[in-house]
Amino acid sequence: MTTIIVETMPKAELLDPQGKAVAGALARLGTSTFASVRIGKRFEIVVDGPVDDAILAEVRTVAEEILSNSVIEDVVGIHVVEAAI
Amino acid sequence: MTTIIVETMPKAELLDPQGKAVAGALARLGTSTFASVRIGKRFEIVVDGPVDDAILAEVRTVAEEILSNSVIEDVVGIHVVEAAI
């Protein structure tokens, strides 16, 4: 079992209302350390057996076409974690 | 400007309906490579200036108490990325 991590974030040029809300809440709670917060998604995809180039290519396609909405999100990372967490 | 990444995932013992839905959709679309999918969140927190231990401790507290719901989620990672993306 191998876990592949896919990370997506809202595009930099778009407002991220969820992140803005969290940043505002942190400021109201008295934490002035943080300049901004943006919130994206982290997918853990489990594959039976080892990961080869064909599976990685398939993950890349799925990440771009299904897991993320390419109008508003970017896929920012695809990593392979050897043992399932 | 330094970016700190905080990653949260639904706890392993809990069902993740959003992940199940994605896994089901992938299976219906003809992709049988993936055994399971779980979906968590990825926060990008931007800090003005360098990150020291005090800021990291504050991020850890905020991650555990505000960014994640400790009843259903685990904080699985906190990383510092030097340059803002």
Nearest residue in chain A measured CA to CA from B36:
A46
Q: Are A42 and A59 in contact (CB under 8 A)?
A: no
HEC-encoded secondary structure of B14-49: CCCHHHHHHHHHHHHCCCCCEEEEEEEEEEEEEECC
Farthest-apart Cα atoms in chain B, separation: 49
**H/E run at residue B5:** strand B2-10
CB contact under 8 A, B66 and A22: yes
Q: What angle do CA A5, B28, A59 make, to 5 degrees?
A: 25
Q: What is the mean pLDDT of chain B?
A: 91
What interface predicted TM-score (ipTM) does this complex get?
0.89
Q: For B32, list phi and psi in degrees, rounded to 5.
A: -105, 10
* pLDDT for res B49: 84
Token duo for residue A33: 């350390």
The radius of gyration of chain A's CA atoms, rounded to the nearest angstrom, is 16
**CA–CA separation, A77 and B5 (whole Å):** 12
Does A27 contact chain B (CB < 8 Å)? Answer: no
Res. B84 pLDDT band, cuts 50 70 90: very low
Express each pLDDT in A46-85 by its tens digit: 998 888 899 999 999 999 999 999 999 999 999 999 764 4
Does B48 contact chain A (CB < 8 Å)? Answer: yes
Domain ranges of chain A: 2-13+39-81
List of chain B residues whose C-beta atoms are within 8 Å of the C-beta of residue A22: 43, 66-67
CB contact under 8 A, B76 and A85: yes
Give the torsion through C-alpha atoms of A28, A30, A36, A40, to 10 deg.
Answer: -70
Select B2-81's CATH number: 3.80.30.20, 3.40.50.150, 3.90.1150.10, 3.30.1280.10: 3.30.1280.10
> Residue B12 has what DSSP assignment?
T
* pLDDT for res B85: 45
CB contact under 8 A, A34 and B45: yes
